[in-house]
Amino acid sequence: MHVGIIMDGNGRWATKRGLPRLMGHKRGANRVKDIVKASPDLGVDTLTLYAFSTENWKRAAHEVEGLMKLFRGYLQNHFVELNEKNVRVRFLGDPSPLAADIRKQMELLTDLTKDNTLITLNIAINYGGRDELVRATRKIATLVKDGALDVADINEDTISAHLDTLQGDDPDLIIRTAGELRLSNFMTWQSAYSELAFVEKSWPEFTPKLFAEVLADYRSRTRQFGAVIPKTADISDT
Ligand code: FPP
């Protein structure tokens, strides 16, 4: 099962407690660790976390710097452990505006963990669903221009294959913390049939127990993907 999470509410969590917003992000980074650890036992084999959006650059410079420091720290501190724990790490988004050392760590970690099998952890940094579609469109247009692809052969699979998720599974469930009811440019293409869950608690308060409850609620839903699934009684009639 693939779960995407929009980790919202770090700032509000901190402000409510009279703390600087960056303290909220720090707490948030600890939550990342807890939730990644809890995921395999909860039946999650792919976890996609929205860590920094293409819009987040508009925040105050010191907050952006603080977040970058957190990513750097997370990559350094968890580099070996993520691999030892058999986690395959991938990054979504356009890395080009990120600091060279962060980009290098991202590349090394992606390469080091590429054959790991316990869980895939997609970390979305400088990610925007629309930006991802623009970049995919450019790649596809280049193939057409170079004569490697016929316009008539472009289909949904072509687009999926050129997204940052590399034709990976679409998220079965997208969770957003902190009470806002929108997707904010997260997995725009991939979310077409995703179930959505919005929780009131902020990301620093999102415990593995709460994660398990949200997953249990999801599992009680019936997903039909636009089709009509016959009831069990109807199936036994045929
Ligand atoms: C949204 O809260 C959160 C972010 C923009 C950053 C998410 C980053 C982390 C959880 C930290 C580290 C992540 C990794 C992968 C190591 P907000 O600041 O928008 O909260 P607000 O809406 O209350 O202001």
Nearest of 95, 97, 115 to residue 105 by alpha carbon = 95
Residue 130: pLDDT above 80? Answer: yes
Domains of the chain: 2-128+170-219 (3.40.1180.10)
User: Tell me: the pLDDT tens digits for 156-166?
Assistant: 999 999 999 99
Nearest of 46, 123, 24 to residue 78 by alpha carbon = 123
Would you say the CB of residue 25 lies under 6 angstroms from ligand 1?
Answer: yes
Rg (CA), the chain: 19
Residue 185 known to be catalytic: no
Kind of pairing between the strands at 119-127 and 46-53: parallel
Mutate to test the pocket of ligand 1, among 7, 63, 81 (most ligand atoms within 8 A of CB): 7
Nearest-atom index, ligand 1, CA of 15: 23
pLDDT-derived band at 95 (thresholds 50, 70, 90) equals very high
Would you say the CB of residue 49 lies under 6 angstroms from ligand 1?
Answer: yes
User: Tell me: the pLDDT tens digits for 6-27?
Assistant: 999 999 999 999 999 999 999 9
Residue 41 known to be catalytic: no
Q: What is the DSSP letter of 235?
A: H
Would you say the CB of residue 9 lies under 6 angstroms from ligand 1?
Answer: yes
The alpha carbon of 85 is separated from its chain's Cα centroid by a whole number of angstroms, namely 19
